[in-house]
Structure 1
Amino acid sequence: MKNILFLISFFIFSLAFSQETNKFKNAKKFQHKLNKEFSSKEESPLTEEDFANFESLEFYPIDSTYIVTASLTLHKDSKPFKMKTTTDRLPVYRLYATAKFELKGKQHSLEIYQNEKLMLTPEYEDYLFLPFTDLTNGAGSYGGGRYLDLNLPEGKTIEIDFNQAYNPYCAYNSKYSCPVPPKNNHLDIKVQAGVKSFKGH
């Protein structure tokens, strides 16, 4: 009987360890992909001066406590709206869902959006956009907030990994036009995960 209980406990521990390892790998993969993009002359949003000196983006340490499972309230009848950006450009989005989750002992909610144009393209038809601000903005992370890319879930929950939060291109180069996170998407905590603020020339 003791052997059976030991095997069950070992299996549960192994499964949990495997899931934790996969989550860590996903975050590392995200960091590698982002650094590869920024190191490419064709893809990098950096200015010529910053690109010449670029080695790597700076990230917060990967922390699995910043990976949450959120319950979704879908907004199927939401009306398209123009999202404010850092320029006069006003891209059209619709509210896809409100995500509710617990993080650092507090309950939070964030709105998740779909871009009207991208919804019509096969490559991005399942793409979801989650812009947010938190208490690290301007004190560790980019002052204008950060973004998360998500995909349409099959059910009414979604995994949000803040280790994969990244800066808008405006954080690196003023020539870009970037959506400004709506006021509803402010987290009243420090999200010490994902990409840190960029220290250029």
Structure 2
Amino acid sequence: MPERKPRKDAARNRRAILAAADALFARSENPESITLASIAAAAGVGKGTLFRSFGDRYGLLRALYEARLEPVRKAVETGPSPLGPATPPRQRVPALLDALLCFKIDNRSLMLALEENGSSSPYQTEHYERWHGLLETMLRQIPGLTDSGFTAHALLAATRADLVEHLVGHERMTREGMRAQLANFTARVLNSEPVRGLTNES
């Protein structure tokens, strides 16, 4: 019985930290300005509590990302929507890319912080590998489409957080404008013929 209170406190603190981080990233124009100390202060906990709950800044970012992404993930895994596994890949690929783009537009500060965190390659992070693997699997199911691994990288590059930030924050492209551009680009990729004379070794 004495152990229940710490567990309840830990769960409550975790929720408070995620809520504070969510609010700070939602209204911030500069994700680098959001420190662990500022998140802990907003949550009303000490930095030690934050470290015990999430390990480090990247752990906190990942937890917040997963919490915000949960509706998209559920739709991809089990949903009857265009994102769901029952949808043909030619429709599912653009639906997935559109969902990722919208998520990154709506969560610009968080995604910039997550994709730029640390010195390791963003292409080796768990969240990138997850989407690349899923997209590559879909692309392999499209007849006549080759090099599904590279194509998945190229399509995901169009949804990178730094590109989204540049187009939305600096070039003032609208949400619907970006979605239309991505849809057109994806359609061209999925419907294109291989370039003659080029091989995987070129």
In the superposition, the TM-score normalised over structure 1's length comes to: 0.27
Greater relative CO (CA pairs within 8 A, separation 6+)? 1
Higher strand share: 1
Structure 2 length normalisation: TM-score?
0.27
Q: Which has the higher helix share?
A: 2
